[in-house]
Amino acid sequence: MPRLSLGGLEITRIQAGIYHWDGGAIFGVVPKTLWSKAAPADELNRIAMAFNCYVIQTGDHTILVETGEGGKMPDKARARMKLPAVHQPLAEILAANGIDPDKIDIVVNTHLHFDHCGGNTILTGGAARAAFPNARYYTRRGEWEHAHERHIRDSVSYIDNNYDPLVESGQMELLDDDREVAPGVKVHLAPGHNRDMMVLTASSSGRTFCFFSDLIPSAAHLTPSWVAAFDLFPLQAIDNKIRWIERASRGDWVCGFGHDKDVAFATLKPDGQISPQEIYANTDAK
Ligand SMILES: [Zn+2]
């Protein structure tokens, strides 16, 4: 898996799986004649995406950002996404990539859609337990409240077993404000995809890594008006995207995307496009 050193941080992009979703939903009002150049569709109009997670090792902390889909979706939904019949637990994927899952002491969920927090817990006999028992988990209170509203627009995205057992046990903290979860590692409210989604920055020795999550789910979505049909607040998504891209290019930040299956790390030009020489894809990772 792609890994890089940034200041005093070691950052690894872990893919909790590759899935397929309708390209029209991923690119909203953008015509297929345009988006299909960036992401070719299969015979059912699906494009390949990844459940991207990032591990940030600071020396004192091992921080896991997102936990993938977690294998709790019904078989029919798994087949629709072309997910393998047998789910591989994230802890196993981490261990196979040289990261001891027991060392993870902080887990951040940018929001609570199943594809970002599904691996928080493991189900045994219907009971959910923490997949990362030594970690403190963080998400935003407003997102947890929204999950429980069960609005018909997005209720399908929420599986309570991914977070409620952790909230009840006190292992998951619900944040009311932006927070530094470890020295230099901060979560920031960035609405658009939904009301309470967060992006994460990690800074050390003057360098910054930024995980955009679903504010910019793939490098193709760097074009500000390319917004997924999923987004509940598309105008806010566009405005926030422009703001964060401007910050990222000004600061020469290294950026990661929620679902890009190829680009693990990228720096951005002021117009929001990737600096070509700075793409660290799967094949040429440092
Ligand atoms: Zn997502």
* pLDDT tens per residue across span 207-232: 999 999 999 999 999 999 999 999 99
Q: What is the pLDDT of residue 269?
A: 84
91 alpha carbon to ligand 1 midpoint, in Å?
20
Q: What is the pLDDT of residues 155-183, one digit of tens each?
A: 999 999 999 999 999 999 999 999 999 99
Beta pairing, strands 9-22 & 198-204:
unpaired
Q: How large is the average pLDDT for residues 266-283?
A: 68
Q: Name 143's Cβ contacts closer than 8 Å, sequence gap at least 6.
A: 111, 112, 194, 195, 196, 197
What pTM does this model have? 0.95
Mean pLDDT estimate for the chain:
94
Q: What is the pLDDT of residue 183?
A: 98
21 alpha carbon to ligand 1 midpoint, in Å?
11
115 alpha carbon to ligand 1 midpoint, in Å?
5
Whether the predicted pLDDT of 282 surpasses 50: no
Whether the predicted pLDDT of 277 surpasses 70: no
Whether the predicted pLDDT of 242 surpasses 70: yes
110 alpha carbon to ligand 1 midpoint, in Å?
9
Whether the predicted pLDDT of 276 surpasses 70: no
Q: How large is the average pLDDT for residues 6-34?
A: 97
259 alpha carbon to ligand 1 midpoint, in Å?
7
156 alpha carbon to ligand 1 midpoint, in Å?
13
67 alpha carbon to ligand 1 midpoint, in Å?
11
215 alpha carbon to ligand 1 midpoint, in Å?
9
113 alpha carbon to ligand 1 midpoint, in Å?
7
Q: What is the pLDDT of residue 114?
A: 97
Whether the predicted pLDDT of 50 surpasses 70: yes
Q: How large is the average pLDDT for residues 199-206?
A: 98
205 alpha carbon to ligand 1 midpoint, in Å?
30
Q: What is the pLDDT of residue 174?
A: 98
Q: What is the pLDDT of residues 83-117, one digit of tens each?
A: 998 999 999 999 999 999 999 999 999 999 999 99
191 alpha carbon to ligand 1 midpoint, in Å?
14
Whether the predicted pLDDT of 281 surpasses 90: no
